[in-house]
Amino acid sequence: MLKFIEVSKKFGQQPAVENLNLEIGQGELFGFLGPNGAGKTTTIKMAAGILKPTSGRIEIDGIDIQNQPERAKTLIGYVPDSPYLYERLTAREYLEFIGGLYGISKPQIDLRAEELFDLFGMNGWVDRRCEQYSHGMRQKVVFAAAMLHRPPTLVVDEPMVGLDPQSARIVKDLLKEYAAAGNTVFISTHTLSIAEELCDRIGIINGGRLVAAGKLEQLRSLSEQSEASLESLFLKLINN
Amino acid sequence: MNFVTHILRFRIIGVLAFFRGMDVERRIRTIVGATVLALFFFGALFFFWYLFDYLSKIREIGILLMDRIISLGFLAIFLMLVISNTITAISTLYRSGETTDLFHRPLPHRQLFIARFLDNLLYSTWGVLVLGVPIILAYGIVRGISWWGYLYEFCFILLPFTVIPGCLGVGVIIFVYLASGHLKPRTVVLGLLALLSLVIVIYLNIGQTSTLSRNILGDWRVLNSFLGSLSATSFPFMPHFWVSQTLRQLAGKPGIDLLLYTFALLSTMLVSVRLLFRAAERYYYVSWQNSYGHATTPKKAVRKFSLPAFFGLPQWLPSDFRSVLAKDLKLFIREPAQWAQFLILLVLLIIYLINLRHFPGNMTDKFWRTIISFANFAFTGFILATLAVRFVYPNISLEGRAFWAIASSPMPIKRLFWEKFFSAFIIFALLAEILAFISNIMLGLTGYMMILSFFSILLMSVALTSLSVGMGAVFPRFDERNPGRIASSMGGTITTVISLVYVCLAVIIIALPAYRYSVYTIDGTIDFPAREFIISGILLLLLNAATIVIPIRIGLKSITERDF
């Protein structure tokens, strides 16, 4: 479970996120939508423990990420929007490195890494250095690294960027299955069709404030447009 | 349209925007940095003025020694500029997003090259000049150079003196990438290193350093004739020699020689620039493509676990600590920019040690023995300071944009900081002690001096590692992939300055009681210098405590409170 309680973040005097209250339950796939600069990535980075909130609390399975960062971070897997890797490591070595950070034993890493490489169809590439990878391949490595320690909460910033249609399908199925298995999945995206297709609930953020959150039907009733597409709902809520 | 001025105009706009957009913290850092640099500048000016002033009062050989120091100083600066330009060119002219972006634009490759070359020259040169300018000013003050003399020196002498190594360094890197289309980059770099070693060995052998160490033990007249004889072996075809000669001319009655050496510098600059630009016109794009190709074309797979996997490291280390350590080792070995520079420094060190063999082992004069052992101690300290800034300081920045993986993992950032500290310290201290031990053996130092040297170097290793790791955490550059450029950034330059000041202070503090002690051993009538030893011990303790504790505290605070 992922919980934001009165979370705000300022960069200097500039507010990026203001008074965010949000709870994402177990088995739920939550989509976070918003225009550029709305505060999506800042929110996700705070959830991953990379940025510190200026005020408020973030809890992962009841553990405050500020007070017990090490414990909380073992419960979360994070996929950033830009998949920067150590260029001179291979995918296998990268996963070994990440596994070491989470205290996983070598046999366990090997076993899980093979599973994930199979899942993402990466087997021909895993012993080549990351500097040779395409954007999509890097994205796959980052996904594999985030899922290596089987975290109960997965936080993904723009999951489909750079993926080919086949890999995008794999990731979509994976996210659905991951949530269906009782885990919490929190994704941010610009692609409204993905949110519409995948998410159990959707949150819309604009100017650092959460302007709406709920199931698609709830959002429709909120905007008094019962048959509207997510795109027109999104534009109406943002413009209001 | 002149694209070069267009690109440079926007570069200036970018720099101005950077200064305008600074928050309070950055402003404070910049002010502190500028203050430290200014202090170093005036400190160096005072030091060289004091030295030259002292030398100028020594009859017969003072001026000769001064000229020799100027010549050697500018030789060192020349070599630093070549190395700095070569290394920086990798990230400015080749592995740079900005260069890639410019290649997409409809502008002639020649103009693109000129814009990037100027950028590279500026970046590689400014730090080195912080040391070079005080030497010129100090020399000028002592020898009474007029204001127009300085103007002449800075416009017509220093400009070509910095452009020539710039052309040389960039030319080398174009050749390396060009050759890498046919040879492995590793082979090309090793070949160049072998060539460099050969050149240095030849230079030192012709330079007759062994004669200096013997003759200096004789009397001043022998030294005088020795220095005089060096004029034939001072490489009159090298720019550092021309610079020293122009200074000499400006200090005296300028004659035709001044114009001759100025002409030599200016014409060499023009020829170098012309040759480089012609070579760039033909080969820059090809070599850039080679560098790009190396990063993108599929190569054979890396042998599985061909390097020590982190599970091979001691099990008592925490898993995350081992993991980061193994990753750092692998990245160091696989990064040519890292190990190539390391090898250059290693080659220079080995040559230095080899040259110590000329030192007369049967020297009995305690005074000279003390002086030379301190010169060796100071040299070791300066080498360690250089190594620390170049290889330890960039360690945290080198986590780069991939740092999110560690920042989002359960590994505490504090532990990462200590991993960087200890991994650097172990290698650094080991190298420092080996260097000190071999040089002491070569100099015939044993017993107490050896023990003193062992502990001093150990202390120095802790202090310099703390300084570099701490400052590296205060001024991280996660956007920069080239360690050479990280080391020559403002934070790196400040760290260099503080490290050099630390080494100078440490040497001065230890030298005082050692000098008194050597006098005491010669002249039995004076008391054992116990007071000097106590004061020196306390000062050394304070200096090291400050150099170790302060950077670590501010570094830890800075990195743990930082948003990534």
pLDDT tens-digit map of A111-169? 999 999 998 888 888 888 888 888 888 999 999 999 999 999 999 998 888 788 888 88
Model confidence pLDDT, tens digit, residues A166-220: 888 888 999 999 999 999 999 998 888 888 888 999 999 988 999 888 888 887 7
**Per-residue pLDDT for B366 more than 80?**
no
Q: Is the Cβ pair A132, B295 closer than 8 Å?
A: yes
Say what the pLDDT of residue B48 is.
85
B46: which 2 tokens? 């005072």
Rounded to a whole number, what is the distance in Å from the CA of A131 to chain B's nearest CA?
Answer: 6
The Cβ of residue B545 has, within 10 Å, a number of other Cβ atoms equal to 11
**Please, which residues have CB within 8 angstroms of residue A157's CB and are 6 or more apart in sequence?**
A40, A41, A44, A45, A79, A80, A81, A187, A188
**Per-residue pLDDT for B36 more than 70?**
yes
Return the residue matching tokens 């534009």: A235
DSSP state of A121: T
Mean of the per-residue pLDDT values of chain A? 88
Distance CA B564, CA B559 (A): 9
Question: Which of A86, A101, A128 is opposite residue B331, by nearest beta carbon?
Answer: A86
B112-B113-B118 Cα angle (round to 5): 105
Residues of B in contact with A76 (CB under 8 A): 408
* Cβ density class B135-160: b for 16+ within 10 Å, e for less: bbbbbbebbebeeebbebbeebbbeb
CA-to-CA separations, B484 to B139, B162, B317, B331, B530, in angstroms, rounded: 31, 18, 30, 15, 45
Distance CA A34, CA A20 (A): 14
Q: Is the Cβ pair B410, A71 closer than 8 Å?
A: yes
Say what the pLDDT of residue B367 is.
66
User: Between chain A and chain B, how many beta carbons pairs sit less than 8 Å apart?
Assistant: 109
What are residue B112's DSSP bridge partners?
none
**Per-residue pLDDT for B362 more than 90?**
no
Mean of the per-residue pLDDT values of chain B? 80
Say what the pLDDT of residue B496 is.
87
CA-to-CA separations, B362 to B86, B323, B365, B443, B515, in angstroms, rounded: 42, 51, 9, 10, 21
B326: which 2 tokens? 């193994």
Name the closest residue on chain B to residue A145, using Cα atoms. Answer: B405
Return the residue matching tokens 């980061």: B324
B89: which 2 tokens? 């060119």
**Per-residue pLDDT for B256 more than 90?**
no
Distance CA B301, CA A91 (A): 11
Say what the pLDDT of residue B299 is.
52
Say what the pLDDT of residue B211 is.
45
The predicted model gives B77-82 an average pLDDT of 86
Chain B interface includes A107 (CB < 8 A): no
Residues of B in contact with A102 (CB under 8 A): 320, 409-410
**Per-residue pLDDT for B32 more than 90?**
no
Distance CA B420, CA B375 (A): 31
The Cβ of residue B62 has, within 10 Å, a number of other Cβ atoms equal to 16
CA atoms within 13 A on the CB side of B324: 31
Model confidence pLDDT, tens digit, residues B421-480: 998 898 888 888 888 888 888 777 777 777 878 888 888 999 999 999 999 999 888 888
Task: Give me the phi and psi of B468, to 5 degrees please.
Answer: -70, -40
Task: Give me the phi and psi of A44, to 5 degrees please.
Answer: -65, -40
Rounded to a whole number, what is the distance in Å from the CA of B413 to chain A's nearest CA?
Answer: 10
The Cβ of residue B445 has, within 10 Å, a number of other Cβ atoms equal to 21
Per-residue confidence at B556, pLDDT binned at 50, 70, 90?
very high
Per-residue confidence at B233, pLDDT binned at 50, 70, 90?
very low
**Per-residue pLDDT for B76 more than 70?**
yes
Name the closest residue on chain B to residue A78, using Cα atoms. Answer: B408
